Copies of this chain bind each other. A is one copy, B any other.
C-alpha cells in the first residue's frame, strides 16, 4: 500500500547520467539534477540515496548502456581488431551526444561547476595553443621533407596530443569526429617516415 511513485526511476536516472556526464560528479549540483530529472531533491534521495550513490548508479548504467561495446571488442579474434573496435566505438560514443561529449568516467574527473567555465575554456585554449605549435612544427617538417607529402600535420599533432592528454579529453574540448578518427588511425599505425627514408627502403628491397 501507500502512495505510488509519480516519476519514472529509469528516466530520472538517465537524466542524472547526462548531467554527470556533462558536469562531472562535483560539478553536478542537486539544482542541476532536479532541473534535468524534473524530480525534487527529497524524491531523488528516497529513490537513489545520497549523491554518491546516485552517481554510482549512473556509472553502472553508463557501463551497461553506453560502454556495452567493450564485450564485443573483447570477442574479436585478434588483438588489433580489439583495439580498432574499441577506438572507433569510443570515438562514436565520445562525439554522439553534443551535450555531453567525452567519457562519463573521465568527465567525472574532469568537469567542474558552471562557475569555472571560463577557467576550463582557458585551459582548453592553452591546450589548443600547444597543439597548434606542434601542428605548425609538423607543417614545417612537411615543408622540409622530414615528413612525406602524404602526411597530415594536423592529424599528427592531434595524435601526439592524444597520447599526452587522451582522446576523451579532446572530445570534451569539442574536437570533431574526423579529428578523432584520424588520431585512431595514427594510433594503429606507425609514425610516418620521411620520403627519403621511404625511397631508400624501397630501393633496398
Interface residues of A (CB under 8 A from B): 24-27, 52, 55-56, 59, 63, 70, 74, 77-80, 82-83, 86-87, 90, 103, 105-106, 108-113, 115-116, 118-120, 122-123, 126-127, 130, 133-134, 137-138, 141, 146-147, 156, 160, 162-169, 172, 183-184, 187-191, 194, 205
A24 / chain B contacts, CB cutoff of 8 Å:
112
The A interface is mostly helix, strand or loop, or mixed, namely helix
| Bound complex: CA A160 to CA B105 (Å) | 16
Q: How many copies does the complex hold?
A: 2
Q: Hey, which chain B residues are within 8 Å of A141, CB to CB?
A: 78-79, 82
Please state if B166 and A169 are interface contacts (CB–CB under 8 Å): yes
* A87 and B55 contacting across the interface, CB-CB below 8 Å: no
Query: Which one, B59, B82, B116, B164, contacts A167 given CB within 8 A?
Result: B164
If A56-B122, A166-B165 touch, does A82 touch B191 (CB 8 Å cutoff)?
no
**Alpha-carbon distance A164/B105, docked complex (angstroms):** 11
Measured CB to CB, the closest approach of chain B to A173, in angstroms, equals 9
What's the least CB distance linking A113 to chain B, in Å? 6
> Distance in Å from the Cβ of A147 to the closest Cβ of chain B?
6
Chain B residues whose C-beta falls within 8 Å of the C-beta of A27 in the assembled complex = 26
| Contact of A52 with B164 at beta-carbon distance under 8 Å, contacts A79-B137, A141-B78 already known | no
User: Would A133 and B166 count as touching, CB distance under 8 A?
Assistant: no
Q: Can you report 21 A-B residue pairs in the complex whose CB atoms are below 8 A from each other?
A: A25-B116, A26-B27, A59-B122, A59-B123, A63-B126, A70-B133, A74-B133, A78-B141, A78-B146, A86-B160, A90-B164, A105-B126, A106-B169, A108-B123, A109-B110, A109-B111, A112-B112, A163-B187, A164-B166, A166-B166, A166-B169
CA distance A185 to B87 in the complex (A): 19
- Least CB distance, A106 to chain B, in whole angstroms: 6
Taking A26-B27, A86-B164, A87-B160 as given, write out 18 further A-B residue pairs in contact, using a Cβ cutoff of 8 Å, ordered by the A residue number: A26-B113, A55-B119, A59-B122, A79-B146, A103-B165, A105-B123, A106-B110, A106-B169, A109-B110, A109-B112, A109-B172, A163-B184, A164-B167, A165-B169, A169-B169, A187-B187, A188-B190, A205-B205
